[in-house]
Amino acid sequence: MIRIEPRNSTSRAFALGIPILSAVVSLALAAIPLMLAGANPIVAYGEMIKGVFGSVFSISEMLTRATPLIFTGLAAALAFRAKLWNIGAEGQLYLGAMAAVAVGSGAFDVPGIILIPLIILLGAAAGAAGMAAPTYLKIRFGADEVVTTLLLNFIILIFLQMMLEGPLQDPMGLGWPQSAPVLDQGMLPPLVDRMRIHSGLIIALVAAGIAQFMLARSVWGFKLRAVGENAAAARHAGINVNRSLFGVAIISGGLAGLAGASEVAGLKGYLTADLSPGFGYTGIVVAMLAGLSPVGVVIAALFIASVFVGADSMSRAMGVSSFLADLVVSMSLLCVLVGGFVAKYRIIRADTGKAAR
Amino acid sequence: MMDILNILLSESFWAASLRIATPLIFGVLGALICERAGVLNLGIEGIFVVGAMCGWMAVWLGAGLWGGVLIAALAGGFFGLLHAILTVPLGLSQHVSGLGITLFATSVSYFSYRTALPNVSSPPRITPFQPLDLPILSDLPFLGSVLFQQTALTWLALLMVGVVWYVMNRTALGVAIQAVGDNPDSVDAQGLSVYALRMGAIVAGSALMALGGAFLTMSAFDAFFFGMVNGRGWVCIALVIFASWRPGKALFGALLFGAFDALQVRLQTEMGALVPGQVFLMAPYILSIIALVIAARSADYPRALLTPWFKGQR
């Protein structure tokens, strides 16, 4: 007979070790699909590492890829801390991107010192509105936010196509469904000459720092964690639970909106319907790998971005489908979930259980 | 107004409604079984993809149509088992595990498809299920031609509504599954295994979900495309709340959604000049949210939904 028993305390080594172990295991498991695809895993891993760390350019590509993932990872991590299941970061990202081009592509021909903050602010506001609506439906009507945020992703994507064929369409774009470009002075400055890495990364890192501080040290963060751990107890202790949920919804949606604004105004320069290859959903994996810690989000985003950039480069070199990256990312989520179990519980044989305790 | 009336009275409209509803019927029934046993299965979207890919692939490799259906169900059951292990004995977050299963199942399907067919520009086609001509039923006026246009998988979906209703309401197994989703301690006290009941329900429900996916590649279309499931799984999660976890209402909900989707396609062609087509495309998703908001207040969730249960811990 085996029994499952909670551990008395989860050690710090476990909390740090499990995400790292999950990442390693998921990469190791990728050897199976690599072999099935007829590739030599050792050579493939070599190509992946070369593809990420082989040159300054490839490192810049990895950091560029990590930037939106830090934003969406923070969006998921903060909301999940309060047990608010924001699965709608993908849609909120596009709301932020739409706001960014709506204000940035010529509506206001003002100097960059005004235009850039305007783009960032409105991008965040649009994303925040995208999460405020389902949170209102949850608080007011009890409508499950998992389902509403998921469905909103599809609604927003269709709305985006409508905007790109309508009001937001580039009049000079020969009929393509894409927006007019963001004005030059509205673009986030690049960090390195002739590289794609842009100052959106700095904003993301600052956001992570602020989130970490607020979560760990502020009253707001304390209330948030209390609501997430036990909403009924938090209410009993006099915390306004709905207000806490609404506050984190706005921050979470705002961060996802920033991901979209930073992709448009930092990287692409204009908006198309394929701006995000699922950054919103991948942000959930980033948050879980990070153990819902904002600083962890930065590290996890670097890992996931490396997987994507590395797999792309490996795919080009060896002809293996780049869906391998999605496979590794999804496996790392499942691994870290199981790892969380190992950290929290121990499995003991019932007959020797008393002695073990 | 006359246009809408004409559409509603046409046989092709009702035939399309039933066709669109078919994958949702499988999906809602599958989600209903899982949730009745106390486990939310957000793996549904990915399990749809797996069912669509595996069913199609099996037929393409020569397994025959029903062989494909069987393979799809087995593949769905496999990913269901994975979700079951993570959420039942391990008691991990049902939300995160379900999303993980969706990401995993989707990427496995896409990777396998790309690996099997690295260099195809247009996806290879199979001969899908053909409309089923039934002797007496097909000759009925109106209803006959609505039903006459459906394939065997639609009939299977309608049959499953009856089967799930019967099992849930008229058998000891069904009563036990519902009890395990309401009060697992009472089931355990009777000497039944909470783990086995919950895991079995998730595997069976996931197999049903996969059939919804298989319908897409083996009946509605004849090939596999990336992104073809397009949120149908999530719609089912909304519909199951709307249906108050009852098979009959699940059928009604799926048909209502199907009718609305069929109507928006027809209105789009009629009124496309006046309103952008995307307004109509959005409508079914918006309707799902509205249905959820209406149903949420009075929703009678299975009482132990989302609550893990461990043997020997009260």
ipTM of the modeled complex: 0.93
> Is the model's pLDDT at B313 over the cut of 50?
yes
> Is the model's pLDDT at A173 over the cut of 50?
yes
Residues 6 or more apart from A86 whose CB is under 8 A from it?
Answer: A75, A76, A79, A80, A92, A131, A145, A149, A249, A252, A253, A256
Contact across the interface for B276 and A142, Cβ inside 8 Å: no
> Is the model's pLDDT at B141 over the cut of 80?
no
pLDDT band at A8 (very low <50, low <70, confident <90, very high): low
Q: What is the mean pLDDT of chain A?
A: 92
Contact across the interface for A281 and B103, Cβ inside 8 Å: yes
Q: Six-digit token pair at B258?
A: 């199907």
> Is the model's pLDDT at A355 over the cut of 50?
no
Contact across the interface for B115 and A321, Cβ inside 8 Å: yes
Q: Quick one: CA dihedral A126, A128, A131, A135, positive or negative?
A: negative
Contact across the interface for A333 and B115, Cβ inside 8 Å: no
What residues 153-212 of chain A have any CB closer than 8 A to a CB of chain B? 153-155, 158-159, 161-162, 165-166
Residue A2 has what pLDDT?
67
Measure CA of the first residue to CA of the last residue in chain B; give whole Å.
60
Residue A351 has what pLDDT?
54
Q: In this structure, how many other beta carbons lie within 10 angstroms of the beta carbon of residue A191?
A: 17
Residue A182, min C-alpha distance to chain B (Å): 25
Residues 6 or more apart from A191 whose CB is under 8 A from it?
Answer: A197, A198, A199, A201, A202
Determine the residue among A327, A331, A345 to mutate to test chain B binding: the one whose Cβ has the most chain B Cβ atoms within 10 Å: A327
> Is the model's pLDDT at B213 over the cut of 60?
yes
Residue B276 has what pLDDT?
83
Contact across the interface for A151 and B234, Cβ inside 8 Å: yes
> Is the model's pLDDT at A347 over the cut of 90?
no
pLDDT band at B3 (very low <50, low <70, confident <90, very high): confident
Q: Which residue has the tokens 């039942």?
A: B88
Chain B CB within 8 Å of residue A124 CB: no
> Is the model's pLDDT at A1 over the cut of 70?
no
Contact across the interface for A33 and B237, Cβ inside 8 Å: no
Residue A175 has what pLDDT?
84
Q: What is the mean pLDDT of chain B?
A: 92
Contact across the interface for A33 and B115, Cβ inside 8 Å: yes
- CB contacts of B289 in chain A (<8 Å) are 137, 143, 147-148, 151-152, 155
Domain boundaries, chain A: 68-281
Q: Residue B232: which of B39, B25, B13, B55 has the closest Cα?
A: B25
CA triple A288-A290-A292, angle to 5 deg: 70
Tell me the pLDDT tens digit for each residue of A142-167: 999 999 999 999 999 999 999 999 89
- CB contacts of B293 in chain A (<8 Å) are 137, 141, 143
Residues 6 or more apart from B276 whose CB is under 8 A from it?
Answer: A162, A165, A166
- CB contacts of B288 in chain A (<8 Å) are 147, 151
Contact across the interface for B118 and A327, Cβ inside 8 Å: no
- CB contacts of B296 in chain A (<8 Å) are 141-144
> Is the model's pLDDT at A340 over the cut of 90?
no
Residues 6 or more apart from B75 whose CB is under 8 A from it?
Answer: B50, B51, B54, B210
Tell me how far CA of residue B212 lies from CA of A99, A164, B200, B232, B292, in angstroms.
37, 32, 19, 9, 21
Tell me the pLDDT tens digit for each residue of A227-279: 999 999 999 999 999 999 999 999 999 999 999 999 999 999 999 999 999 99
Residue A5 has what pLDDT?
72
Give the up-direction half-sphere exposure of residue B172: CA atoms within 13 A in the CB hemisphere. Answer: 3
